[in-house]
Amino acid sequence: MNDTRDPDAHDAVSEKAETDISEAVEQSGVISPAFIAQVVGAVGDGDKPFLWRTVKELHPADVADLLEHLPPEAFRKAIHLLGQHLPAEAVAELSDTARLDALNELTDAALSAMVGHLDSDDASFLLGDIEEDRRARILSKVSATDRAAIESSLAFDEETAGRLMQRAFVAAPVFWTVGQAIDHMRTVSEDDLPEVFFEIYLVDPGFRLQGTVPVSGLVRHPRETLLKDVMKEAPVLVRPEMDQEEVAYLFRQYNLASAPVVDEAGRLTGMITIDDVVDVIQEEAQEDILALSGVSEAGVNQSVLSAVRARSPWLLLNLVTAFLASVLVSLFAVVIDKVVALAFLMPVVVALGGSAGSQSLAVAVRAIAERDLEGQLARRAIRREALTAMINGALIAGLAGLVVLLWFQDVKLALIMLVAMASTFMWAGLIGILAPLTISRLGQDPAVASSVFVLTSIDLMGFFVFLGLASLLLV
Q: How far apart are CA 434 and CA 436, in angstroms?
A: 6
What angle (nearest 5°) sits at the alpha carbon of residue 230, between those of residues 224 and 232? 155
| Closest CB to a copy of itself among residues 112, 392 | 392
Distances (CA, A) of 454 to 123, 364, 429, 436, 460: 42, 12, 10, 9, 10
Number of residues that bind a copy of itself (CB under 8 A): 132
Binding status of residue 325 toward a copy of itself by CB under 8 A: yes
Question: Which CB atom, from 142 or from 339, has the smaller least distance to a copy of itself?
Answer: 339
Q: What is the DSSP string of 313-351?
A: HHHHHHHHHHHHHHHHHHTTHHHHHH-THHHHHHHHHHH
Residues 176-215 interacting with a copy of itself (rule: CB under 8 A): 181-182, 185-186, 190, 193-194, 196-198, 214-215
Residues 358-377 that bind a copy of itself (CB under 8 A): 358-359, 361-363, 365-367, 369-372, 374-377
Q: What residues have CB less than 8 Å from 44, skipping those under 6 apart?
A: 4, 5, 74
Task: Convert residues 126-155 into a mask of x (bound to a copy of itself by CB under 8 A) and - (unbound).
Answer: ------------------------------
Please state, in angstroms and as integers, the Cα–Cα distance from residue 466 to each residue in 55, 297, 433, 470, following that order. 64, 37, 23, 6
What are the φ and ψ backbone dihedral angles of 355, each rounded to 5 degrees? -60, -45
How far is the C-alpha of 453 from the C-alpha of 364, rounded, in Å? 14
Q: Considering the complex, what minimum distance in angstroms separates the CB of residue 141 from a copy of itself?
A: 27
279 binds a copy of itself, rule: CB under 8 A: yes
How far is the C-alpha of 411 from the C-alpha of 405, rounded, in Å?
6
431 near a copy of itself, rule: CB under 8 A: no
Q: What x/- string results for residues 238 through 277 when contact with a copy of itself is judged by CB under 8 A?
A: --------x--xxxxxxxxx---------------xxx-x
Of 78, 262, 459, 469, which one interacts with a copy of itself (CB under 8 A)? 459
User: Could you say whether residue 290 binds a copy of itself (CB under 8 A)?
Assistant: yes
When the beta carbons of 148 and 474 are compared against a copy of itself, the nearer one is 474
Shortest distance in whole angstroms from residue 336 CB to a copy of itself: 5
Tell me which residues in 33-62 interact with a copy of itself (CB under 8 A): 33, 36, 59, 61-62
Q: Using DSSP, state whether 175 is helix, strand or coil.
A: coil
Nearest to 53 by CA among 101, 76, 19: 19
Q: Is 475 in the site for a copy of itself (CB under 8 A)?
A: no
Nearby residues of 180 by Cβ (< 8 Å), 6 or more positions away? 172
Q: Annotate each residue in 381-420 with x if it binds a copy of itself (CB under 8 A) or - if it does not, as one string.
A: x--xx-xx--xx--xx--xx--x-----------------
Rounded to the nearest whole angstrom, what is the least distance from the CB of residue 151 to a copy of itself in the complex? 25
Q: Does the protein bind a copy of itself through residue 474 (CB under 8 A)?
A: no
- Quick one: DSSP state of residue 264? T
* Amino acid at site 210: Q
User: In the set 12, 104, 323, 444, which binds a copy of itself (CB under 8 A)?
Assistant: 323
Candidate segments 16-24, 79-87, 113-121, 295-303, binder of a copy of itself by CB under 8 A:
295-303
Shortest distance in whole angstroms from residue 475 CB to a copy of itself: 14
Residues 11-30 that bind a copy of itself (CB under 8 A): 28-30
Residue 433 and residue 278 in contact, taking contact as beta carbons nearer than 8 Å: no
Q: Which of 355, 354, 362, 356 is closest to 436 using CA atoms?
A: 362
